Amino acid sequence: MPFPKNFIWGAATASYQVEGGVHEDGRGASIWDIFSHTPGKTKNGDTGDVACDSYHRWREDIDLLKAMHLTAYRFSIAWTRIFPEGEGKANPAGLAWYDRFVDALLAAGIEPYVTLYHWDLPQTLQDKGGWQNADTAKAFAAYAAAVAAHFKGRVRYYFTLNEPQCSIGLGYGTGVHAPGLQLPEDALFAAWHTMIYAHCLAADAIRSADPAAKVGIAPTGRICTPATDAPADIAAARAATFALADGDWTFAYTPALDPVCGLGWSKIAGGVTQCAVDAIPQEQRNALPLGKPDFIGMNIYNSVVVRAGADGKPQFCKRSAGYPRTAIGWPITPESMEWGTRFVWERYHLPIYITENGLSCTDHLYLDGKVHDPARIDFTHRYLLALRRAVDSGVDVRGYFHWSLLDNFEWSEGYNERFGLVHVDFATGQRTPKDSAAWYAKVAATNGETL
> Which residues does the annotation mark as catalytic?
163, 356
Q: Is the Cβ–Cβ distance between 308 and 232 less than 8 Å?
A: yes
Within 183-240, strands assigned E span: 214-218, 224-226
Helix, strand, coil abundance in the chain, percent, nearest 5: 40, 15, 40
Burial of residue 422 (CB within 10 Å: 0-12, 13-18, 19+) is: buried
For residues 9 and 445, give the distance between their C-alpha atoms in angstroms, rounded to a whole number.
9
**pLDDT tens readout for residues 22-35:** 999 999 999 999 99
**Confidence label for 399 from pLDDT (cuts 50, 70 and 90):** very high
Please write the tens of the pLDDT for every residue from 381-390: 999 999 999 9
Residue 266 is predicted with a pLDDT of 86
Contact (CB, 8 A) for 306 and 226: yes
CA-wise closest residue to 101 among 218, 18, 195 = 18
For residue 239, is pLDDT > 90? yes
Cα separation, 46 vs 416, in Å, equals 9
Q: What is the mean pLDDT of residues 234-250?
A: 96
Question: In this predicted structure, what is the pLDDT of residue 1?
Answer: 75
CA 265: distance to chain centroid?
A: 22
First and final C-alpha spacing in the chain:
8
pLDDT of 103 over the 90 cut: yes
- Average pLDDT (43-62) is 98
- The mean pLDDT value for 216-220 works out to 98
The string of pLDDT tens digits covering residues 177-187 is: 999 999 999 99
Q: What angle do CA 58, 61, 66 make, to 5 degrees?
A: 130
Cα separation of 80 and 103, whole Å? 21
Choose between 315 and 248: higher pLDDT.
315
Q: Using CA of residue 133, residue 138, residue 144, residue 150, what is the dihedral sign?
A: negative
**pTM for the structure as a whole:** 0.98
Provide the pairing of β-strand 352-356 with 397-403. parallel
Mean pLDDT in residue range 387-406: 98
What does the alpha-carbon distance between residue 372 and residue 434 come to, in Å, rounded to a whole number? Answer: 6
Confirm if 100 and 62 have CB atoms less than 8 A apart: no
How many whole angstroms separate alpha carbon 137 and alpha carbon 197?
6
